[in-house]
Amino acid sequence: MDFANDPKTAVMQQVRQEAAVQNARQLVEKLNEHCFERCVPKPGSSLSKGEETCFTQCMEKYMAAWNTVSKQYVAKLQSSSGTL
């Protein structure tokens, strides 16, 4: 069977791509909500060096946590699907 021309496979691939885009969008929103509010209490015309440092560190920690949670979630899904 030629999976490249299989409509079901194409739809599944499109759904995966859309889910990835949605996840990236959600990550950016959460970063802005969490880190910007935490690191920039009084927005001005530019960020101070301290605000930049705070935002960068917050963003790195948040993304590391996001990746850890995502990996655990995928592992749990794979484990669950293997036992069905």
- Domain ranges in the chain are 7-81
Mean pLDDT of 47-61: 95
Mean pLDDT of 16-34: 88
Residues ≥6 apart with Cβ < 8 Å to 3: 9
Confidence check: pLDDT of 42 > 70: yes
More confident residue, 27 or 49: 49
CATH class of 7-81: mainly alpha
58 falls in which pLDDT band (50, 70, 90)? very high
Mean pLDDT of 4-11: 80
Q: pTM higher than 0.75 for the full model?
A: no
